[in-house]
Structure 1
Amino acid sequence: MIARGFRTAAFMLAGFPISLVAFVLIVTLFSVGVSTLIVWLGLVVLLVLTKVVSAFAAANRNLIRGTLKVDIPTPRIELDQTGSFWRRYLNRMIDAQMWRNIAYLVLSFPLFVFEFPLAIVGIVILPVGLFVLPVIAALHVMLAESLLGPNTTERLTEKAERLQASRARGVDAAEAERRRIERDLHDGAQQRLVAVAMGLGRAKSKMDSDPDAVRALIDEAHADAKLAVSELRDLARGIYPAVLGDRGLDAALSSLAAKCPVPVEVHVAIEPRPPAAVESTAYFIVGECLTNVAKHSGATEAKVNAWREERPSGDLVIVEITDDGHGGASMRPGGGLSGLADRAATIDGVMTVVSPVGGPTVIRADLPCVW
């Protein structure tokens, strides 16, 4: 809570000078541009204004992302590339998003003026900083999202494109998982059961002539049957582990960490429990990442953090796996990390990998609880 209060104060203090400069430039350039349109100089000034507006809109999105941890996507301004230079920039000037950016930069100036002295008070009087500033900042973010972010049509279009892509990746991931299960059944439990059947058949043929051999064959068939049961149990656990369904993600991730040969520190704070699809996705991402840590990273320790985060668009379950290995991991087409990203995409989740050469490696999955 204290960290959130300081981030909010930093947003308000840093936003005031940015907003002041933006307001002065917009008012000045707009006034000069409109008043000199009759001599064509105004058109050049207004074109400069579009660049200034776009730059300050991006600066405000970056400020909100960096301090308040809210990502506002950059809306697309469509330009007709077939027309002349002046036609393209005229289209930019009359684009609805350009005027929405201007509206935010103008309206946010008095808001930042109010927030600036309030932030100073919040730094001195702690209750104001902890309880009042975040509420004001949340209202400010709502204004920014409505004006600086994509409009409803763009958001729906982007969501449809993202869901279409994630559906295709999900189908591929499901097909790969089906092939893996078929392979494991064919190479494992099926072969064991065939051996059991053959052993019992040989025992049946020797029932009367060689009782001692029958006993040995039955013992061998019994051992194969137990191995087949064990392999089927492991296969079923790979599809959906019992500990995950019975005790939740905390116990399941702790179980994975206990099996990893590299020491793993686990911190889980996810209440209430997310949907089963989110839990299973998080579980398999952590499991695969810890396997990679043990096999390829050269790490001496690893950490797994999982928490639930509230967002205006819906809660997220965030999972981070960090190791101190030699780094260099990346999501290559057909690779294991790409497969995990595909699994996350089936529930509209996003996975990122930061792994510079020399380490450390940080793998993060943002998994929405509603999709």
Structure 2
Amino acid sequence: MVARTALEALTLPPLRLLRSPWPWRSLAYLGSGVLLGLASVLALITLGTLGVVLLIGVVGLLALPGMVWVGIVVARFERRRLRLVDTEPAYDPHRRPGRPGWRAWLSTRTREAATWREFGYLLVSALALWWIDLLLVSAVLYVPLMFMSAPFVDSDLPIYLTVPSLLGGIGILPLATYPIMAWAGTRAAIARAVLSPRDTELTARLVEVSRSRARLVDAFELERRRIERDLHDGAQQRLVALSMTLGLARLDLPVDSPAGQQVARAHEQAKEALAELRELIRGVHPQVLSDRGLPAAVEDVAGRSPLPVDVDLPLPGRLPAAAEQAAYFVVTEALANVAKHSGATRARVGGGVTGVAGDWLVVEVRDDGVGGADPAAGSGLTGLADRVAAVDGRLLLSSPAGGPTVVRAEIPCG
């Protein structure tokens, strides 16, 4: 058994326990608890004295926020110290303030239940817990040293008691391991119960993270649309004008003349650049997706694929933009992977809306290639999974050796 906490380590066989780092880690935990408790007591005495002496002044009014701040700092150190006797990390229960500045920070913290739990833990630690730490650490150090030093400091000790005194001091050390570890594990369990986030706090943070991720996805899509619009209305129009100008100049020059040949090459290069720019614009954000929806956009991608692609994607109507964009991204990237890596001769794009309320969009890309697709091989599958996860969907891959390869995206659209 691999012990994850000091309390679990107590169940190990005695010799294995004494050879493990758990006794020393427990002693370090309690020793650092003494130092942290002493600092907490000094901070509380200082702030309490200032609050009483300067009660009518501004400094006195700052005593309570100061104590709250001390509780937050002590709790932060305590969560880090827990790693000495508990391998599972203790997470910070606090939310990030919505605005910068100390006022926003203070307003956010004073409204959080976690802040007042930490303040209560500060008081309990200063009044009781660190004293127990001090008592146990002192006893573990003092009692063995007392026995082992007795033959050297007590001249009245009979000579026949010298060896038993030394052996007794050494023998106490292994026995002291158990109360030290038991209290360290109990103290850590108390700290975790008080200072770790509650389920409601974790849920609130998860909701906040989900909303933040949704805002980032929306901002990303807006930026993609802006880039597409700027390229379409700016650079593309200039290239069209340049290509037309070169085409007219090409008509005015003799075909066999040096100038005519140079203009002809420039005209062809301008047309190639225009074609590449149009392909880039489709990749950034295809206009057909915004105008006609996902099925038409997928048909457009399939028509430009170097492989024959069958499309069967019946949808009841337009879906949320985020779902359509994520599905389009999956189809384009999956078809690109089919063309580059699969050795397939044909591919198929299928899917539709599923679920009791029609709240899931399923898109599936299948090919008849050699299979063996590996997300770790850099084929873009990890990026596909991340893109789908950004809209709370999931990506499934089936690619046995010999094929076929199936990439399936399930995207919420309700």
With normalisation by structure 1, the TM-score equals 0.43
Bigger Rg, which one? 2
With normalisation by structure 2, the TM-score equals 0.39
